[in-house]
Chains A and B, each alone.
Chain A
Amino acid sequence: MSGDCILCGKCLEVCPLLRATGREELGPRAKADLCFLLGDDETLLSGEDVAKLAGLCLGCHRCKAVCSQGVDVPGLVAALRLAHPDFKGWLWKTWLTHARELWSSTSLAAKLIPKNFQSEKFGPFLKMLAGLKGGPGLEPFLIPEIFPDTYRGERMLLFAGCTANYVQGRWLVTALRLLDGLGIEVLPGDFKCCGGGLSSAGFDVESEAMACKNIDVWRKAGKPKMVLFCASCLSSLGGYENYFEDSEEFISWQRSLMPLSALLREATFVVSEKASGKVAYHRPCHVDKADSDYMFLHNALGNRLIVSTSRECCGFGGVMRLGTPALADAVNRDCWEKLGTPDVVLTGCSACAAQLAATAPNEVRVGHWLEIIA
């Protein structure tokens, strides 16, 4: 797999970690090459050290998207993490698999982190966890006006994702309201976590179990369309390729995945009087090319939307943030440099929303775009 890398360097264009640090050994080509060298001659490099270095990856998947050779660097990194697990992986796993307890409003996530890891460098991370408990949210200012009849009467599943299910209940409520407006009947479905974070942290068994459970819910519901409003969940579900009976079923699964914002394409909204001034949009790394969230906001907000990131990553970085927050912070600073200081930053990914909220300048408020829907 890593042997397919021809060292062309095309992926260097998109890696936010390389851009923020200027350190070539952290770029995707270096990671692919390290994996190749490790497989080629086991005596040359230490597997543990390679895992540590190559593991410094935000898991943003941008490199994979541009590689003409189909090299999956974040996949290689996940495999390395699987082969060389350490505390970072453990911590991440704990966080995700215990989402229900960790994120419930009564338990404080930080308490679950062992004392010796509660050092200075985890400060911002703990702040982010605290941020995930909900907070007051944004003041809604976008009022739905007319819903189209395009989907009226259709029955769909709603994959809300862990954040909306356990922390940001209001996202879920707003999503349900919008679906109701569209005349869509939401089918019951007891989904698990999408497994994206676990899979990139190298926990294949756990993430596979989650994927299979989610596919099962879909099958049992008669393979209907599935609505999502988190770019990372959508990307993770779209990558379930290995868990289907045949490619035909996988294709119909992929076709069933619908970003909520795409369903709202023909709906009209009005901006209320008390609207915030300048709005920025953060494009999540995991969003697909079409980026229907951006299209939706662009149409609804017009020139109120003053800036949009394109190549900047929020610096959430999953497991990497836990181990080397300084590197993830450098990536985060790049992102804020582009965003500037608008009144509100909107995004369509729960991880980006949490990361940006935890690092926002004082006067800037951050949230999922669902929060501005009145």
Chain B
Amino acid sequence: MRFCLLLTPRGRSRTFRSMPIYAESLTSAHRLFLTDHFPGDGCLLSQEGMAAFSADASQERAMPWAVVRPENRGQIEELLKWADSERMPIYGRARGTGRVGNAVPTHGGVVVSMLGMNRILDVDENDFVAVVQPGVVTGDLQAACIDRKMMYPPDPASVKYSTLGGNVSTCAGGLKAVKYGVTRDWVMGLESVLPGGKVLRTGGRSHKNVVGLDLTRLFVGSNGKLGLVTEIIVKLIPLPETSASVLVGFSDLRSSMDGARAVFRSGVLPAACEFMDKVTIQAVRQVGDVPLAANAQAALLFMVDGSEAGVEAEVRQLVTALNESSPVSVEIGRGKDEEKIWAVRRTISPAAFRIRPNKFAEDISVPRGTVAEAVERAHQIGEECGLIVLCFGHLGDGNIHVNIMHDASVPDEVVRACRAKDAVFRLAIELGGTISGEHGTGLTKASFVSEQLSQEEIGLMTSIKQVFDPNSIMNPGKGW
């Protein structure tokens, strides 16, 4: 086994157990294989055609050597058999909305676009499961479930334009994670093709299963590093009858945290519990009317769902609990008005760009009790670096979106923003949290992984990957 030493972009050295040797380009024999197996539009080789597959929402970029579009599992089996023997880097890709560059083909190789496999195979009202191909847009599955009065709860903000394959591979979380958990909690079974072309089926339609190690959960969040997912079985629940939302303003951050604590202590488990700091509130005020008191310096946004009577009662209980921390405004939304409240949350991202043209949007997660400290210290970091830092996000699960605003055309600002980003990551780890609650590490955070995970953990993960992918052809070049 060879050892090699790499210098990371941030100057720290990392030790790799071994550097796999990959194909260096596409030979004419490779081309022939790909065009034979993926005829017509199924294989792209032109630069113009492939450009769309070179980047994702992280805005990182690398050109692939080829793009293929399988329409069935058989094609993927053939592809991964060939790729393994040719040491061809393989990059699974769905809608490319990942924010850390996980779908970017850093080593060239072949991008496998899964969008052709986009059928909802089953939505079963008896078993309360759905079976889908990976290219199905998550919002489309949710709509199909709602038609049958069922619900698939994971709801990343990108739910209407990202796919189940992508969500499973990144273990996407969302607004309602506080009550309903993240993608991992809803995946019951998977069918995947491994390097070498073997098909692996794990889990199934049974809601309980304790036999053996949980390989399904291992695959969820593995970011295409173990194999390509070709079929997904997810759990469904009955659709809640109704919901209500409450937007609450506070005079400072600490009282908003007290408010959230009081709500949970009162016995209410909201479906969503979001917060916004004062800079975020200022930003959203610039783009439209916000139903918050003028003196609000922090805000909480709750959603409760369930039966009509249950929701009524929970809203009452929630508002009573909040009174202890003296909110400056309470706005309750039902029906169409609920939408108005959530529109505020949705405008945060575009509103942030009114402050500065660029941002580093980090998604650290910390123990819930430390959110106030994390936010205050993130603001401090911003001040020290001379930058505006916006904090908002999923308070319910301690997942804070820290947006470091800057102007990328000013080199000095970029340097300061990078410094702030480093400091924010260290802060998360110091508070016992994680550098990423949702988006993963991919390219943009790869160099920080070793600060969070121990050598033992990384060593074990590398060994596990080797069992599935001995030649390391699956999504090479990315962090854990």
CB of A7 within 8 A of CB of B55, answer: yes
Chain A 265-293 per-residue mask, 1 if CB under 8 angstroms from chain B, else 0: 00000000000000000000000000000
Using C-beta atoms within 8 Å of the partner chain, give the interface range for chain A. 20 to 34
What would 14 more interface pairs be, CB under 8 Å, given A23-B115, A25-B53, A30-B52? A6-B59, A7-B57, A7-B58, A7-B96, A8-B57, A9-B96, A9-B158, A13-B139, A22-B118, A24-B93, A29-B96, A34-B52, A44-B47, A68-B353
Q: How far is the CB of B476 from chain A (nearest CB, A)?
A: 22
Chain B 173-193 per-residue mask, 1 if CB under 8 angstroms from chain A, else 0: 000000000000000000000
**In chain A, residues 7-37, which have Cβ atoms closer than 8 Å to a Cβ of chain B?**
7-13, 22-25, 27, 29-30, 33-34, 37
Highest count of chain A CB atoms <10 Å: which of B41, B51, B350: B51
CB closest residue in chain A, given B47: A45
List of A residues within 8 angstroms of B48 by Cβ:
25, 34, 45-46, 49-50, 52-53
A-B contact pairs, 21 of them (CB 8 A): A7-B55, A7-B57, A7-B59, A9-B57, A9-B158, A10-B161, A11-B161, A13-B137, A13-B160, A22-B116, A22-B135, A24-B95, A24-B96, A25-B49, A29-B52, A30-B52, A34-B51, A45-B47, A49-B47, A49-B48, A50-B48
List of A residues within 8 angstroms of B95 by Cβ:
9, 12, 24
CB of B52 within 8 A of CB of A25, answer: yes
CB closest residue in chain B, given A47: B48
**In chain B, residues 108-132, which have Cβ atoms closer than 8 Å to a Cβ of chain A?**
113, 115-116, 118
Query: Which 4 pairs across A and B sit closest by C-beta, in order of nearness?
Result: A30-B52, A68-B350, A22-B115, A9-B97
CB closest residue in chain B, given A70: B350
List of A residues within 8 angstroms of B49 by Cβ:
25, 53
Q: In the assembly, what is the distance between CA of A27 and CA of B97, in Å?
A: 13
Q: In the assembly, what is the distance between CA of A34 and CA of B63, in Å?
A: 13
B56 in the interface, Cβ–Cβ < 8 Å?
Answer: yes
Q: In the assembly, what is the distance between CA of A22 and CA of B96, in Å?
A: 13
B209 in the interface, Cβ–Cβ < 8 Å?
Answer: no
CB of B161 within 8 A of CB of A33, answer: no
Binding site for A on B (CB under 8 A): 41, 44, 46-53, 55-59, 69, 93, 95-97, 113, 115-116, 118, 135, 137, 139, 158, 160-162, 349-350, 353
Q: In the assembly, what is the distance between CA of A10 and CA of B440, in Å?
A: 20
Q: How far is the CB of A204 from chain B (nearest CB, A)?
A: 24
List of A residues within 8 angstroms of B350 by Cβ:
68-69
CB closest residue in chain A, given B59: A7
**In chain A, residues 61-95, which have Cβ atoms closer than 8 Å to a Cβ of chain B?**
68-69
List of A residues within 8 angstroms of B115 by Cβ:
22-24
CB of A68 within 8 A of CB of B135, answer: no
Q: How far is the CB of B162 from chain A (nearest CB, A)?
A: 7
CB closest residue in chain A, given B49: A25
List of A residues within 8 angstroms of B162 by Cβ:
9
List of A residues within 8 angstroms of B349 by Cβ:
68
CB of A45 within 8 A of CB of B51, answer: yes
CB of A25 within 8 A of CB of B51, answer: yes
CB of B97 within 8 A of CB of A33, answer: no
List of B residues within 8 angstroms of A11 by Cβ:
161
CB closest residue in chain B, given A21: B41
CB of B57 within 8 A of CB of A25, answer: no
CB closest residue in chain B, given A9: B97
Q: In the assembly, what is the distance between CA of A12 and CA of B93, in Å?
A: 14
List of B residues within 8 angstroms of A10 by Cβ:
158, 161
List of B residues within 8 angstroms of A29 by Cβ:
52, 96
CB of B53 within 8 A of CB of A37, answer: no
